[in-house]
Amino acid sequence: MQFTRFIRSSSCAFIAGLVVAAAAHAQPAPAASAAPVAPVAPVADMVGRKDAPLYVALGGQAGLTGLVDDLLERLMLDRRTRPFFQNVDAPDFKHKLVMQLCDISGGPCKTVNANMKKTHAGQDIRRSDFNALVEVLQETMSARDIAFSDQNQLLARLAPMHRDIVNTH
Amino acid sequence: MFSTARRLALGAAASLLAGAVGTAFAQTPASALGGATSDGAAAATAPASSQDKPSLFGGRGKLLLTSGVSSIDGAAGGGLSPWAVIASYAEEGETGATAHLSQLKTDNYRLTTAGVALGVNDRFEVSFAQQRFDANVVAPNATLRLDIVGMKLRLLGDAVLDSDTWLPQLAAGAEFKHVEPGSAVGAVLDSVSAKRSGVDLYLSATKLFLAQGVLVNGTLRLTKANQNGLLGFGSSDNNSYRLKPEVSVAWLLQRDIVIGAEYRAKPDNLAFAGAPYRESAWKDLFVAWAPSKRLSLTAAWVDLGNVVGHSRETGPYVSAQLGF
């Protein structure tokens, strides 16, 4: 009798938890906040789409270019991240990052799959370093009035890269 | 003066803590210990690393609010339940601590909790908490004191950054509890054979669904505690462990504000003694605000259900947590 009760109450709680999790996961992505669609010539192949909601929310090509400009500036100012970025070739880095963000947000850019492990192998990167970059990126996006839900959607696509980028434990 | 159980618990906690801290520092990355790198490169081309060497203490590598708040039992998580997150903002390779002070005021009772928690390497957590429960409505000068030593070990997973999988962060923990009920309530406990000490064991699974900004936690707790331990452990009617579920759901509204709800099922070992001693599940609705990594404030509305003869004890809860 007690056993049946415990099975029932535990199952109910777990099912409730799973239902909530499933509902949260299944929700259509919140509509990207209104942002002017930057008039942009499609870059390289038209694999993505220039009206992809997250790409639009980030401001399209012009928005991403401005975002990456701001981001690198902040990364150089933050003492946690400066050591990792002070020696990068800025124009090359910015171009590559804009293309990657365009691709990852569903925009019309096709990037060659960068090997994250290789490009970061020359640096000792800990989890706290990765999180510091996330925080600077969050600050950059907030300063550019990108909605919190859109920020989280971009972060959700970028976060799994920690497995290849964090190499020091 | 100290009961054997309490001494054992504190001894276990101390040795486990020493072991964990030792392990944690053994894993400090080589680059932090003076820059000598394995590839023997000249100093000019040594791999870049953060100017912050892993601090001996006060690590703040975690993202805001991702270590939860302090639960009433002292473990990191929600207000009522321990989550799989490890206390403090200390990330891998770091050590950090929190201290908290909380108060719950229902119609007839007041519960004050204070505690500290230590987080090591985002892997191991130890906490010490003391609850004082004002039961004057039951007997004059009846203040129950509940001491809790908690330990938690993160087993696997990453609640925040593994956003491409359903795999949650998983942790196992124990809460060693001892109650000093005072003479009036003590007599009640003796009459139902409720013990003064007990251990809760639990398994927690926590996941932040990053794209949606929703965190979900499920906890399974093996316990004999009556009213979380305030009325002792077990009874003459039931002295076996019960497996009880707990669920928390939280929505990140902004980077520094989260709202949520919790549900915590509990055993009902004293129901045989009469309706006043029946237990209910605990529930709450909460909002937490973290203006910085140094401070977080939580406010909640809590429903304790039936507490010793008062059938619907509800009321406000406030908590402040400092991060070191």
Per residue in B247-294, pLDDT (tens digit) is 999 999 999 999 999 999 999 999 999 998 999 999 999 999 999 999
Statement: residue A74 has pLDDT above 80:
yes
Q: Going by DSSP bridges, is the β-strand pair B76-77/B69-70 parallel, antiparallel, or unpaired?
A: antiparallel
Statement: residue B164 has pLDDT above 70:
yes
Choosing among A9, A19, A76, A128, which should be mutated to test the B contact, i.e. which has the most B CBs within 10 A?
A: A128
Partners of residue A16 in chain B, C-beta under 8 Å: 247, 263
Q: Which residue has the tokens 């691709």?
A: A103
Which residue among B92, B217, B247 places its CB closest to the CB of A127? B92
Closest approach of B166 to chain A, Cα-based (Å): 9
Statement: residue A112 has pLDDT above 50:
yes
Phi-psi region of A9 (alpha: psi -120 to 50; beta: other; left: phi over 0): alpha
More confident residue, B183 or A18: B183
pLDDT, position A89: 94
Mean model confidence pLDDT for chain B: 87
Which residues are CB-contacts of B210 (< 8 A; sequence separation ≥ 6)? A152, A155, A156, A159, B160, B161, B163
Summarised one tens digit per residue, pLDDT across range A117-154 is 998 998 999 999 999 999 999 999 999 999 999 999 99
Phi-psi region of B291 (alpha: psi -120 to 50; beta: other; left: phi over 0): alpha
Partners of residue B62 in chain A, C-beta under 8 Å: 128, 131
pLDDT, position B4: 52
pLDDT, position B33: 31
Residue of A nearest to B246 (CA): A13
Choosing among A131, A153, A164, A167, which should be mutated to test the B contact, i.e. which has the most B CBs within 10 A?
A: A131
Summarised one tens digit per residue, pLDDT across range B187-207 is 999 999 999 999 999 999 999
The interface predicted TM-score of the complex, written ipTM, equals 0.81
More confident residue, B156 or B43: B156
b/e map B43-64, b = 16+ CB within 10 Å: eeebbbbbebebbeeebbbbbb
**Crossing angle for the helix pair A60-77 and A90-104, to the nearest 10 degrees:** 130
Which residue among B48, B93, B163 places its CB closest to the CB of A123? B48
Q: How far is Cα B191 from Cα A84, in angstroms, rounded to an integer?
A: 66
Section A44-59 average pLDDT: 81
pLDDT, position B36: 34
Partners of residue A1 in chain B, C-beta under 8 Å: none
Statement: residue B120 has pLDDT above 80:
yes
Q: Residue A78: which H helix or E strand, with range?
A: none
Cβ–Cβ < 8 Å for B294, B322: yes
pLDDT, position A34: 45
